[in-house]
Structure 1
Amino acid sequence: MVLKPLAGVRVVELANWIAAPAAGAVLADLGADVIKVEPPGGDPVRGFLRPAQVSGPAAEVDYPFTVSNRGKRSVELAINVEAGRAALLELVSSADVFLTNMLAYRLSRYGLEASNLQAVNPRLVVAQVSGYGSRGPDAHRPGYDITAFFARGGMIHTMTPPDGDAPKPPTGPGDHATGMALVAAILLGLRAVDKTGQGQVVDTSLLSMGIWTMGTMLAATLVDGRDSGRRSRSTEITALNNRYRTADDRWLYLTMPGGEKWPKLCEVLGVEDMVTDERFRDARARYRNMGLVVERLDKAFASKTRAEWGRILDDAGLVWGPVYSLTEVVADPQADALGLFPEIEHPTAGRFRTVGIPFEMEGADIGPSGPAPSVGEHSEEVFRELGWDETRLEEARLSGAFGRP
């Protein structure tokens, strides 16, 4: 029998955008029954992100939404009306986890504080994620990964070159990282419930994950109160930890701590004279003359393509990495060998690849179990499982529980 690690665990997800739904997608990949509660009209991120440039039935699939919502069931509820809120609480009474990214004041507005939820389900794990956390002067602030994770967490400042513009990070990395932190917190909460029989509240934030991600660089700053130096290519500490453009206008990164690989690098680049040149004789001298070092290495790297340099650097045992475009990432045979692009079967669009979760468990069935649901696709199914008959469903419709009757 193949193991589905979280089979039998029910998660009620009242969340939108990316971070919290991404956590729900991981739980669904692990076998949990994740019920996504959406407002009338659906999660506002539906249709918001870049669509795939395809035609026919495949064009109807929201591929970015699928990454964070595959394998779930969708229930459409208007929690701003009493009938919708009551239906949500009944659903929560059947769950193991309540997952949300609603800020505390909104949860309070609808009577969905952890204490109220655990009053109807004493073993419930309430899992919360927000931009800035559940307490403190900015707990009320909305936040996205660009503002809370990248910008306020210090990452963008550190990546901004002297006299350069602050870079705009891509969409979603902070959300997906924070989603993984929330998954860990949820599993911790479930374990605590198993041991104590008591419900738990777990919490994380984009800011928390941003700061943890920057922990190695923040450690010294916590002690000496100083910012790390921001460096351009020509002012880096070592040429062995720098980036270079190749003949085909691609980039590669070298990452080799220490200086023992310097002679070998000079040999493969055809600049052996730099090994004995007094200006570059040791790490300190190279640092003082980094502008000249980069100028010479730039000229050498510009003589061949990235693929050619890759073979040369590999043969020499030097550590490097290509700067891949997104189209190169999805064609990477190493990523494919790791199963990072599993396929999903869609009822009208057929099979397509998506992004897999970044870990494995030997002998377990881990991965997407189906496409993302349409809005409210499973509303009747889920409430029938709770024992609702047609009369109760019709009463809920007429009362506006599922949206405008």
Structure 2
Amino acid sequence: MKPLEGIRVLEAAMYGFVPSAGAVLADWGAEVIKVEHAVSGDPQRGLRQTGTFRVEGDPNPNVEHANRGKRSIGLDMATAEGREVLYDLARRSDVFLTSFLPQARAKFGIDVDDIRALNPSIIYARGSALGPRGQEADRGGYDMTAFWARAGIAATLTPPGVEGMISPPGPAFGDTISGTNLAGGIAAALLKRERTGESSVVDVSLLGSGLWAMGHTVALSLHLDKPMVAPTPGAHGSPTNPLSGLYATADGRYLAFVMLQPGKFWADVCQHIDRPELADDPRFVTAEQIATNTDQAVEILKEALAARTLAEWTERFATLAGPWAPVQDSRQVGDDTQIRANEYVIPAGTLELVASPVQFDVAAPKLGPAPEFAAQTDEVLLELGLDWTRIIELKTAGVVT
């Protein structure tokens, strides 16, 4: 049994952030009903161009990632009849999940007080760009603005002298991280309700999630009263540790070493690169001397590591004691045997998707495909007790799809 089996989530949300929270909850076993605009659906369905990637036809990974395992109902919440359908669903749900801004929630009658009047025990969860308080609480935003730019991530990654800022590594980067945070908050609120009978309002913002991801850096910056500055592109890494940084291989790939105790790992690295004599080199016999002579050690390691391919080093470093990793792109991760062994990328219909990161009982979630637009409208309405005559009336009026 999945942890959230028996929990019903009513999702009125668009794009990547809040729907990705619904996807995580679905991965954990919840039944998630996605409410989409009766005509246009979730605008994410129209997102076909992402950077240099162009998706033609269906399935569309931009939709599938944040909507797998849900059911979809097309509904016009601007009409009284549409709201009544939504309210009937809310009465039967454990969680109301929304990305609508305060003005829109008031307009459609789906704010906290509206939903709580129907179902006092419901968990009300909302995702925002900038948080629920302050002068800018009414402002919208995307992960590029609130998570990436405003939370300090872009500036911290952008090296001095580079015009503008480094862009996010891919679409919905901050959305997906923030959505996982929101799903975790909802799970905690469900546990609180079970233990105390009290229901909570759960808030997660893109800005708050970005700051949390930058937590160590922000704390250091505030303590030392200065920003962290990105290293010059192409630089090794740590100025005082040759075993913390990047090294090129013979085939143009890179290895990332992160051995924060160089004195502990230096001799082992020397053995693995066939330079055992370096372990007794006076320049590197203690951590202090390694730090002092980092530049020389880096040059030695660069030359040694450039002599073999990544595949050769991967085999050789299987017994290396210190932490290291190959630098991989978004396609290469799909061929990583460790990723496959842990089922971090798994089938979902005809696609392969990344599984949400929490596993229960050492098993990956079983992913269902994302619903086609409004595909379960009839099914959901019948479950609410509407007969076919009433369903046809609602369709004719444009209330449901």
Same fold per superposition (TM over 0.5): yes
Q: Is the 8 A contact 1:250 1:323 kept in 2?
A: yes
Deviation at 1:16, TM superposition (A): 1.1
Deviation at 1:135, TM superposition (A): 1.0
Deviation at 1:175, TM superposition (A): 1.5
The AA in structure 2 aligned to 1:344 is: A
Counting only pairs closer than 5 Å after superposition, residues 191-270 of structure 1 correspond to structure 2 as: 191-232=191-232, 233-234=235-236, 236-237=238-239, 238-260=241-263, 261-269=265-273
Q: Distance in 2 between matches of 1:331 and 1:127?
A: 37
- Residue matched to 1:148: 146
Q: Is the 8 A contact 1:81 1:400 kept in 2?
A: no
- Seen in structure 2, the aligned counterparts of structure 1 residues 306 and 364 have a Cα distance that, compared at 3 Å, is closer
Q: Distance in 2 between matches of 1:271 and 1:49?
A: 51
Q: Is the 8 A contact 2:242 2:295 kept in 1?
A: no
- Residue matched to 1:27: 25
- Residue matched to 1:184: 184
Residue 342 of structure 1 aligns to a residue whose secondary structure is strand
**C-alpha distance after superposition, 1:14-47 (max 9, x if no partner):** 1111121111112112221110001122111114
Q: Distance in 2 between matches of 1:22 and 1:224?
A: 36
**C-alpha distance after superposition, 1:315-344 (max 9, x if no partner):** 343321001122221111211111222223
- TM-score, normalised via structure 1 length: 0.87
- Residue matched to 2:317: 313
Q: Is the 8 A contact 1:14 1:101 kept in 2?
A: yes
Alignment partner for residue 94 of structure 1, among 92, 96, 105? 92
- Residue matched to 1:348: none
Q: Distance in 1 between matches of 2:293 and 2:237?
A: 9
Farther-moved stretch of structure 1 (187-196 vs 274-283): 274-283
- Residue matched to 1:139: 137
- Residue matched to 1:356: 355
Deviation at 1:396, TM superposition (A): 1.9
Q: Distance in 1 between matches of 2:345 and 2:115?
A: 37
**C-alpha distance after superposition, 1:218-237 (max 9, x if no partner):** 22333332223432325633
Q: Distance in 2 between matches of 1:65 and 1:54?
A: 11
Q: Is the 8 A contact 1:50 1:64 kept in 2?
A: no
Q: Which runs of 5+ in 1 are unaligned?
A: 346-350
The AA in structure 2 aligned to 1:179 is: G
Q: Distance in 2 between matches of 1:283 and 1:235?
A: 17
- TM-score, normalised via structure 2 length: 0.88
- Give % identity: 35
The AA in structure 2 aligned to 1:357 is: S
Q: Is the 8 A contact 2:355 2:365 kept in 1?
A: no
Farther-moved stretch of structure 1 (85-94 vs 113-122): 85-94
Alignment partner for residue 393 of structure 2, among 387, 392, 395? 395
Q: Distance in 2 between matches of 1:148 and 1:191?
A: 30
The AA in structure 2 aligned to 1:184 is: G
Deviation at 1:272, TM superposition (A): 6.4
Q: What is the CA RMSD across the aligned residues, in angstroms? A: 2.7
- Residue matched to 2:128: 130
